[in-house]
Amino acid sequence: MFIDFFHGLRRHGIGVTLQEWLTFLEALHKGLIRESVDDLYHVGRAVLVKHEAEYDLYDQVFLHTFGDAPAPPAVTQDVLDWLDDPILPRPLTPEERQRLNALQQDLEELMRAFEERLAQQKERHDGGSHWVGTGGTSPFGSGGFHPGGIRVGDGGGSMSARLIAAKRQFQNYRHDRVLDIRGLQIALKKLRRLKRVGQEEELDLDETVGATCRNGGDIELVFQSPRANEARLLLLMDAGGSMTPHARLVSSLFSAAHGLQHFKSFQHLYFHNCPYSTLFRDIQRQDAMPTHELLRSIDEDTYLVIVGDATMHPAELTEPWGAIDYWHHNETSGIEWLRRLRARLRHAVWLNPLREAWWNAPSLLMVRRLFPMYPLTVSGLEDAVEQLLQTRPIQ
Amino acid sequence: MDFPPYDGTPDYIASPALSQIVNVAVGLGRPLLVRGEPGTGKTLLAHSIAEALGLELHAWHVKSTSKAREGLYTYDTVQRLNDSRFQDRDVSDIRSYIRHGALGEAFASERPSVVLIDEIDKADIEFPNDLLHELDAMRFAIHETGDEIAAVHRPVVVITSNAEKELPDAFLRRCVFHYIAFPDQAMLTEILKVHFPTLEEDLLSAALIRFLALRDVPELRKRPSTSELVDWVSALNRGGIDPALLANELPFLGTLLKKEQDIDTVTRRARGR
């Protein structure tokens, strides 16, 4: 019965180790658990579970093992795994591609057509090929198939629908994608620039010995100020849209950097697909901050880490007025803003949550020419940190 | 070492689950790691255990610059150098320049004791790992003298954390863990009665209702905790506030909310009604 409990906990993702299990048995053996289910519950929880976030899962497994409650649906984890590991959208058949290519228009024309159509449209349309709606092949709308259209509002592209049908063939990739916060923190900790600051309160032993010798053996104490980390970190994160499946990855990087309390300053801002004239302080992109303001105020030695899939329609990157959000009036193209960021800061890298095998979108290749790009994994971050630490002249 | 079972102290109400976990940690000789919202009495727990079991308490308040070795001992080189210069003390004995930290004192003490390692997550990320061996083996060596200090009595170790940083797995494996949940209404009543035995029933229940409603305001950046409730009720009590007044007003709001935005939020909501 107890061994079932152990296996049940492990099966549902509570990483109980053998050592912890033996401690639990020791508590049983020493009579620290009186003959009551309550005792078993509390002591088991204290010894086996080390984070309150896992309490709920523990409760479910406990009820299942020692009560008659049904086992918690393990499928939740499966679904999360799928979402962590999105697959490429289905390839279009030649006929479909041809049909869509016929619709391909250049951006300006598309913009005008959008405005016209919006003016004509009186009601909601879904699944069609003309009006602004969802799930269709019209160039305007959300959640549909069109290689060069305008997405209105958030809601993911053609990725999500396929995920549900995905078999577990990607499960095996999981182990190289596991991002534990601690691993990230250890990688980030290498980012330091030590400088002596503040009151001289630390004994400088070498200098004391030297001064004492010069003094003919009379002790001369020499003090120095303690060293502090002067490194500043700026995290720019792509939020929304195609980044939704990677939200958990990005948020673990964010909490790692946020919880570290290691930097002299840590700033984080959000953008959608590409940074334009405005960046945002919140993930909902409500609280805006002008990019030129950032460029003006930022210290040139700040370590810049951009997180994004860099996968978008090329026009979003290269064209003025190209932003995916219709309301985002960008007079200056995204690539130009990226160039300015790159030129302003000495140390910059791009972390991409997509697997390296998919790094082939034209926009991604353009971004990659500007920023050294690394996969968003623990080892990718380690490489990125190495790159950040190298001093290279401002371009 | 056998102790009487722990069951809270007159001025510290421990839930039955918490009391039991304390007893298990003592029985197993494992460090007890407690986590919970600020102000739920994590630090006070160690004081309460020491009092209930009649033990000495050695407290170690961890800071961001703390090093693991400081909890064991420090070697005062500057004092020794200074003494050798003026020759006013015998400097040949290094031992007189070694000072024990909280853990060192507890190990060396003839009496069984409680060690509190407060806010362990404030220190460097490697800090807990550096203590693993000492907490496991309950002994350490002083490099300067070659002495080895082994615990006479295995101390009861209580560690608190605010979850600012993730603690290393190897460290967590060795601990008994308890999350102090925010007390429910019945328990809060009990806590208030311990602090204010003569408080009127009316004021107590009116204050509690307002307090719990305040904790439910979703926009708050820092929700008031038990210790703030105690401060507030103490202020209400001394100010001689009429319980009926509490239905419409929140006097002494500054004792409950410590952030300007939060005070704004609450006053705006009150006006909105």
pLDDT for A291-307, tens place per residue? 888 888 888 888 999 98
The verdict on A214 and A236 lying in the same domain is no
A33 in a structural domain: yes
A258 in a structural domain: yes
Q: Is B158 in a helix, a strand, or coil?
A: strand
A107 in a structural domain: yes
Q: What residues in B contact A46, CB-CB < 8 Å?
A: 21, 24-25, 176-178
A167 and A147 in contact (C-beta within 8 Å)? no
Q: Is A75 in a helix, a strand, or coil?
A: helix
Indicate the domain borders of chain B. 16-180, 185-272
- Report the gap between the CA of B35 and the closest CA in chain A (Å): 9
- pLDDT, mean over chain A: 73
pLDDT band at A163 (very low <50, low <70, confident <90, very high): very low
Q: Is B75 in a helix, a strand, or coil?
A: strand
- Here the CATH number for the domain that contains residue A271 is 3.40.50
How much is the pLDDT for B2?
65
Question: In chain A, what percentage of residues exceed pLDDT 70?
Answer: 67
A80 in a structural domain: no
The verdict on A10 and A130 lying in the same domain is no
The verdict on A319 and A200 lying in the same domain is no
The verdict on A186 and A280 lying in the same domain is yes
Between chains, do A261 and B64 touch, taking CB under 8 Å as contact? Answer: yes
A68 pLDDT more than 70: no
* Stronger pLDDT, A169 or A118, i.e. the higher one: A118
Does A185 contact chain B (CB < 8 Å)?
yes
Is the backbone of residue A303 left (phi > 0), alpha (psi -120 to 50) or beta?
beta
> What are the pLDDT digits (tens) for A93-152?
666 666 666 555 455 566 666 666 666 655 555 545 555 444 444 444 444 444 444 444
The verdict on A237 and A339 lying in the same domain is yes
Q: Helices marked H in chain A — which ranges?
A: 2-11, 18-29, 37-48, 55-66, 75-84, 94-103, 107-120, 159-165, 174-177, 181-189, 205-214, 247-260, 291-297, 314-318, 334-344, 362-370, 378-389
B237 pLDDT more than 80: yes
A196 pLDDT more than 60: yes
B102 pLDDT more than 50: yes
CA distances in angstroms from A336 to A106, A325, A387, B20, listed in the order given: 20, 18, 23, 63
Between chains, do A26 and B82 touch, taking CB under 8 Å as contact? Answer: no
A89 and A158 in contact (C-beta within 8 Å)? yes
The verdict on A100 and A43 lying in the same domain is no
The verdict on A266 and A366 lying in the same domain is yes
How much is the pLDDT for A155?
37
Q: Indicate the CATH number for domain B16-180.
A: 3.40.50.300
CA dihedral A190, A191, A194, A198 (to 10 degrees): -120
How much is the pLDDT for A324?
65
Q: Among B181, B183, B68, which residue's Cα sits nearest to residue B127?
A: B68
How much is the pLDDT for A116?
66
A395 in a structural domain: no
- pLDDT, mean over chain B: 86
Measured CA to CA, the distance from residue B251 to residue B269 in angstroms comes to 15
The verdict on A276 and A186 lying in the same domain is yes
Interface test with B, best of A17, A23, A30, A227 (most B CBs within 10 A): A23
How much is the pLDDT for A290?
87
pLDDT band at B21 (very low <50, low <70, confident <90, very high): very high
A171 in a structural domain: no
How much is the pLDDT for A149?
44
The verdict on A132 and A213 lying in the same domain is no
Query: Which single residue is written with the structure tokens 């203590």?
Result: B131
- Report the gap between the CA of B56 and the closest CA in chain A (Å): 24
How confident is the model over B130-156, as a mean pLDDT? 89
Interface test with B, best of A24, A43, A194, A260 (most B CBs within 10 A): A43
Q: Which range of residues forms the domain containing residue A211?
A: 195-227
How much is the pLDDT for B159?
95
Greatest mean pLDDT among A186-200, A328-342, A350-364, B19-33: B19-33
A90 pLDDT more than 60: no
The verdict on A204 and A249 lying in the same domain is no
Residue A202 pairs in a beta bridge with A224
* Stronger pLDDT, A288 or B102, i.e. the higher one: B102
Measured CA to CA, the distance from residue B270 to residue A73 in angstroms comes to 43
Residue B33 pairs in a beta bridge with B159, B177
The verdict on A237 and A366 lying in the same domain is yes
Does B25 contact chain A (CB < 8 Å)?
yes
How much is the pLDDT for A389?
83
A334: enclosing H helix or E strand: helix A334-344
The verdict on A262 and A285 lying in the same domain is yes
> What is the 8-class DSSP label of residue A86?
P
A163 in a structural domain: no
Q: Count of alpha carbons within 13 Å of A350, Cβ hemisphere only? A: 24
* Stronger pLDDT, A23 or A149, i.e. the higher one: A23
In this prediction, the answer to ipTM > 0.90 reads no
**Position B39, amino acid:** G
Pairing type for strands B113-118 and B156-161 reads: parallel
Does A211 contact chain B (CB < 8 Å)?
no
- Please count the structural domains in chain A: 4
Q: Which residues contact A354 (CB under 8 A, 6 or more apart)?
A: A309, A311, A364, A375
Between chains, do A26 and B28 touch, taking CB under 8 Å as contact? Answer: yes
> What is the 8-class DSSP label of residue B64?
T
Question: In chain A, what percentage of residues exceed pLDDT 90?
Answer: 4
How confident is the model over B177-201, as a mean pLDDT? 87
How much is the pLDDT for A164?
24
pLDDT band at A62 (very low <50, low <70, confident <90, very high): confident
* Stronger pLDDT, B110 or B164, i.e. the higher one: B110
C-alpha distance across the termini of chain B, in Å: 60
How much is the pLDDT for B49?
94
Does B28 contact chain A (CB < 8 Å)?
yes
Give the long-range contacts of residues A357-361, CB within 8 A, separation 24 or more: A358/A88, A361/A310, A361/A311, A361/A312
Give the long-range contacts of residues A58-61, CB within 8 A, separation 24 or more: A58/A9, A58/A14, A60/A12, A61/A5, A61/A8, A61/A9, A61/A12, A61/A14
Q: What residues in A contact B17, CB-CB < 8 Å?
A: 42
Q: Say which range, A171-180, A233-242, A274-283, B37-46, has the weakest mean pLDDT.
A: A171-180
A164 in a structural domain: no
Does A7 contact chain B (CB < 8 Å)?
no
> What is the 8-class DSSP label of residue A326?
T
How much is the pLDDT for A104?
52
